[in-house]
Structure 1
Amino acid sequence: MRYFSTRGQAEPRDFGGVLLAGLAEDGGLFMPEIWPERSAAEWRSLRDLPYAELAAQVIHPFLGETMSLETLRMLCDRAYAHFDHPARVPLVQLDHNLWVQELFHGPTLAFKDMALQLLGQLFEHVLTERDETVTIVGATSGDTGSAAIEACRDRSRIKIAILHPEGRTSEVQRRQMTTVTASNVFNVAVKGTFDDCQDMVKGLFADETFRGDMKLTAVNSINWARIAAQIPYYVASALALGAPDREVAFAVPTGNFGNVLAAWAARRMGLPISKLIIGSNRNDILTRFLAANDMTARGVEPSLSPSMDIQVSSNFERLLFELVDRDPAVTAQLMREFRATGKMPVPDAAWKRATALFQGLALSDGETTTAIRDIHATTGYLADPHTAIGIAAARHAHLSHPVPVVAMATAHPAKFPDAVQAATGIRPSLPTHLAHLMSGKERFTTAPNDLAAVETLIRSFVGRNDHSEGTAS
């Protein structure tokens, strides 16, 4: 299996090369040369497998000769061994044809654990085989950072630096990152938005000297391995609800488009998915695109669902590449125009192809609070703000015929206790293993929204053997 950049100017790589490269040198995102499709009989053969085995079977075709299926099985077993639910990704029925799939039973209580626990294992295995070290840099709007840190902490071949927008995550999200004491972890609070942090990560990769000196790689969903590792839970729920002999639909709260892109990839592999429903907050660029081909970036506004406070959805480039028939020149030009003008002139034919499969719904903060309250009142289910938006999107979906709709529960309600309490009067408690969060000492460095300043900080961090005495500032 080889991978090519969506912009066509980067050297093709195998899976291991893509894992370690993260972002392509031309600024594009890596995509598989071909999609490993499965027949109905092959999908049926995956029914009733334990989640780790299912994940290994689904992901392995993307690895090619990088790793044997036996090795991948071992890494998946390790990755999901300590999740706190035996099903790992349980389904909960809310209504006749409405379900939620809980993706928050990992160590940091968010769906990012589903991919990043495995990525930590993949990194360690590939780096050991190649006798290499890397510096991981990532941007987070809330959950990626803590999940990446948890997956990579104390690994001798990895140093990890995470940028988060100062004051724009929940307190639980921030503390899950900043109370970690591992010496290979560095947290930077950037005076800006998530889009600023994400742009900065791309800028770090674009600086060839810095990229080479630091041996950079990424854990954001710009890294294809993140997408591949998220496909299995869509397969798991679809099979449980009757696929491949029955269609399903998914409702996904999304900001950076990676989670819903994994569902799209499952469909591209042959899973019968009839509709993909996107839930957004006031940062509604994806919903506006689907409604009126309006891909115009506006200022990022803070909301009750901070993990979706994004206007530049990186993984949309991967879908765009497919919508324009995998033409890298067209993709690159559209992305250049978007960067230059803040508006992407998606060809009408490509937009219509997107709207044939995707729908969107955006909720204000007030509507999100109402959704949390109504979901709890009618079903007894306590949903965090992101999950509530996904469930609301599922309820408002326009489907041509009745199919089971699965809303993705992307975070434990205890990660957003203030929002949940305001809506329901119930304050969800953190699990016992995270009870220390609210009292632990925080360690992070505050930085201006300036690429050179952040480069200097990361160089200093990588040059130190131990930064654990760093202080919050």
Structure 2
Amino acid sequence: MRYISTRGEAPARDFEGVLLAGLAEDGGLFMPESWPLLSAAEWRGLRGRPYAEVAAHLMAPFAEGALDRETLLRLTRAAYSGFGHAATAPLVQIEPRLFALELFHGPTLAFKDMAMQLLGRLFDHALEKRGERVTIIGATSGDTGSAAIEACRDRRAIDVVILHPEGRTSEVQRRQMTTVLSPNIRNIAIQGSFDDCQDLVKAMFNDASFRQEMRLSAVNSINWARIAAQVPYYAYAALALGAPDRPVAVSVPTGNFGNVLAAWVARRMGLPIERLIIGANRNDILARFLAANDMSIQGVAPSLSPSMDIQVSSNFERLLFELLGRDAAATAGIMRRFRAEGRMPVPDAAWRKAAGLFHGFALDDEGTLGEIRRLHAGSGYLADPHTAIGTAAARAHLPPEGIPVIVAATAHPAKFPDAVERATGIRPPLPARMADLYEREERLSTLPNALAAVEEAVRQHGRRNRAD
């Protein structure tokens, strides 16, 4: 399998090359040259298989030519062996037609572990084979950072620098990052929003000399391997509910568009996903786009669901590339105008295709608290704010009778105890392995939203570790 950039000016790569590169040199995102398509018989053959086997089978076409299936299965088994539930990603029925797909049983209690635990091992495998070292740069609105740190801590060939917006994550999210004191980890709080952090990461990748000097790589969902590793859990859930002989719908609380894009990829591979539902908070750019072709930046507003406090959804570029018939020049032109003007001029025909594929829904903080309260009162289910937005979105866009809806339950409620307690009067405790999180020593730096200052911090971190 070869990969091309959405902007058409970067050389094609194999899976390993895309994994280590992260962002394409032309500023675009890598996409497979072609889409694998599974037959109904092949989908049926995955029913009842352990999660690690489903993951290896579905990722194999994307890694073809770079990883053999035996190695991939060994890596997926290792990645998911430490999860806190035997099913890895269990389905829990919360209403007659709604099922929560619990993606938070990994080490950091969030869905990012589903991909990141595998990515850490993929990086190790590739770097050991090549005898190389990389610096992983990541921006996080809350969960990606802790998942990346947990997956990459103490690895010999990887330095990690994670940027997060100062004061805009939950305390649990912050402490999960800043209490990891491994020498290869550095946390930086940026005086700005998540979009500012994400822009800094992209600017570092677009600085060719710095990128080469520090051997930059990425673990954000701009890295295609992250998307590929998220596809299996939608298949795992759909198969449990009768696919491919029964269609399903998927509802995803969405910020950077990567999680719901993975569901779209599963659909593109032949999984019968009847409806793709996007849940947004007060930062409702995706919902506005789907409703009225209004992809305009309005500023990031803090909310009870901080992992979705995003206006620039990076992975939308991948969908745009497909909507435009893989016209890389047109994609590049639209993305340049979006960054320059704050409004994305999506052609009407492409917008109509998107609106036919996805359904958008937005919920403010009070509505989110009401949904958490309603879910607990109705079924005893304790949902975090992001998951609650997903269930509300699913209810707003229920598909025809007989089609169940899989709601991506993206975080453990204990990651957002203040919001859950405010809604239900119950303060969810952290699992025993994290019970002392609030007492652990923190280590982080605070920097302005300035590229030069951040690049110098990354440079110092990488040089110190190379000298050790």
| TM range, smaller chain | over 0.9
- 2:277 aligned partner, one-letter code: I
Q: How does 1:321-340 map to 2 (within 5 A)?
A: 321-340=321-340
Q: CA deviation at 1:427?
A: 0.2
* Residue 243 of structure 2: aligned partner: 243
Q: Residues of 1 paired with 2:206 and 2:23: CA distance?
A: 9
Give the distance between the partners of 1:438 and 1:400, measured in 2 at CA.
Answer: 46
- Between the aligned residues of both structures, percent identity stands at 68
1:9-408 map, 5 Å: 9-408=9-408
SS at match of 1:441: coil
Look up the match of 1:453: 453
Contact 1:371 1:388 in 2 (8 A): yes
Q: For residue 410 of structure 2, what is the aligned residue in structure 1?
A: 410
The answer to whether the 8 Å contact 1:461/1:467 transfers is no
SS at 2:135's partner residue? strand
* Structure 1 position 466, deviation (Å): 9.1
Q: Quick check: 1:141–1:194 contact (8 Å CA) kept in 2?
A: yes
- Write the letter of the residue equivalent to 2:365: D
Provide, for residues 284-316 of structure 1, a one-character-per-residue CA deviation record: whole Å limited to 9, x for no partner: 000000010100011100000000000000000
Once the two structures are TM-superposed, the CA of residue 95 in structure 1 deviates from its matched residue by 1.6
Contact 2:149-2:185 at 8 Å conserved across structures: yes
Structure 2 unaligned spans of 5+: none
Does the aligned pair in 2 maintain the 1:183–1:467 contact within 8 Å? no
Question: How many residues are matched?
Answer: 468
Deviation of 1:435 after TM superposition, in Å, equals: 1.3
Which secondary structure does the structure 2 equivalent of 1:356 belong to?
Answer: helix
Output the CA distance in 1 between the equivalents of 2:132 and 2:429.
41
* Structure 1 equivalent of residue 6 of structure 2: 6
Which amino acid in structure 2 is aligned with residue 198 of structure 1?
Answer: Q
Structure 1 residues 15-50: Cα deviation after superposition (integer angstroms, max 9, x where no partner)? 000000000000000000000100101100111110
- Runs of 4+ that moved beyond 2 A: 398-402, 465-468
Counterparts of 2:242 and 2:5, CA distance in 1? 35
- Aligned counterparts of 1:164 and 1:322: Cα–Cα separation in 2: 30
AA in 2 matched with 1:79: A
Which residue identity does 1:347 align to in structure 2?
P
CA drift of 1:76 comes to 0.4
Report the secondary structure of 2:438's partner residue.
coil
Aligned partners of 1:184 and 1:466 also within 8 Å:
no
Q: CA deviation at 1:425?
A: 0.1
Structure 1 residue 398 displacement after superposition: 4.4
Using the TM superposition, give the Cα deviation of residue 465 of structure 1 relative to its aligned residue in structure 2, in angstroms: 2.9
Distance 1:429 1:382 in 2: 12
Q: Aligned equivalents of 1:371 and 1:194: distance in 2? A: 25
Amino acid at match of 1:391: T
Mapped partners of 2:401, 2:411: distance in 1: 29
Q: Secondary structure at the match of 1:99?
A: strand
* Higher alpha-carbon deviation: 311-320 or 88-97: 88-97
Which whole-Å CA distance do the structure 1 matches of 2:348 and 2:224 have between them? Answer: 27
One-letter code of the match for 1:189? Answer: A
Instruction: Give the distance between the partners of 2:60 and 2:244, measured in 1 at CA.
Output: 20
Distance, in Å, in 1 between the alignment partners of 2:436 and 2:22 is: 33
Q: Is the 8 A contact 2:398 2:405 kept in 1?
A: no
Distance in structure 1 (CA, Å) of the matches to 2:321 and 2:193: 26
Q: Which runs of 5+ in 1 are unaligned?
A: 469-473
What's the TM-score once normalised by structure 1's chain length?
0.98
